[in-house]
Structure formats: C-alpha cells, structure tokens
C-alpha cells in the first residue's frame, strides 16, 4: 500500500509525532491552515468516513476524545478550536486515509 499516513504510522517516514497509542497517532500538519493544525490519524487504514463500519464506532469516538485532549495540550481548548473530517476530494480530502483535523490558535472563519 502506498499510503503516506500508513507510512507515518509504521515510522517509515519521519513526522512530528505529538501523540501515539495502540490505535492513534497525532502529527502536525505539514501545510498548516491555522497556528495549531494537527492531524489525528487512526492506525487502522480506513479510506474515509464513507468506509466506516459499525465496529469502528469506538475508534471514531476515541479520535474525537484524543482531539479534545490535544486541544487542551496545545492551549486552544478555552479560546476555541475546530475538529473536522474531510470526506472526498470536493471537501479537500487529499489523502485517502481517514484523519481528523484539529485547528485553532486564531479566530476561524466559518466555511
């Protein structure tokens, strides 16, 4: 498989990993759209939300909870932050491996 996030998860390419457990890694986005822009990535390869299965529901909940903790860790939990899944190319999804964006550190314009 030629998935860049799978390569990050398997430590085949370097990344700025901020968090890791048995199911999830968190890295800094290499093209940040806000002062804080992290990617919360499941280790399990799931192309997008469209391919989620019922057995993935706990993993998705964990992604959100890790996002909440990372927002606190990055100091944006009080000022506000955004958690976003992009689904498909028209939404801006450029890597076909499910990931949750955490954006904060400035006022975010509603899109």
Per-residue pLDDT tens over the stretch 9-18: 999 998 889 9
Q: How many domains does the chain have?
A: 1
Does any domain span residue 13?
A: yes
Cα–Cα distance measured from residue 79 to residue 31, given in angstroms and rounded to the nearest whole number = 22
Euclidean distance between CA atoms 75 and 63, whole angstroms: 18
- The answer as to whether 14 is a domain residue is yes
Residue 111 lies in a domain: no
CATH number for the domain that contains residue 24: 3.30.428.10
Give yes or no: 99 in active site: yes
Assess if residue 10 is contained within a domain.
yes
State the pLDDT at residue 99.
95
Question: Model pTM?
Answer: 0.93
Q: Is residue 109 part of a domain?
A: no
Q: Which of 37, 45, 97, 99 is catalytic?
A: 99
Q: What is the DSSP string of 60-75?
A: HHHHHHHHHHHHHHTT
* For range 103-111, the mean pLDDT: 83
Query: Which domain covers residue 82, as residue numbers?
Result: 4-104
């Amino acid at each position: 498989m030629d998935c860049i996030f799978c390569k990050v998860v398997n430590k085949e390419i370097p990344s700025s990993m901020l968090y890791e457990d048995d199911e999830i890694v968190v890295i800094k986005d290499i093209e940040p759209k806000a002062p804080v822009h992290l990617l919360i990535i499941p280790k399990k390869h799931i192309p997008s939300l469209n391919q989620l299965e019922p057995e993935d529901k706990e993993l998705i909940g964990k992604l959100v909870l890790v996002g909440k903790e990372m927002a606190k860790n990055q100091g944006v939990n009080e000022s506000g932050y955004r958690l976003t899944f992009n689904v498909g190319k028209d939404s801006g999804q450029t890597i076909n491996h499910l990931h949750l964006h955490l954006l904060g550190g400035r006022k975010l314009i509603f899109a």
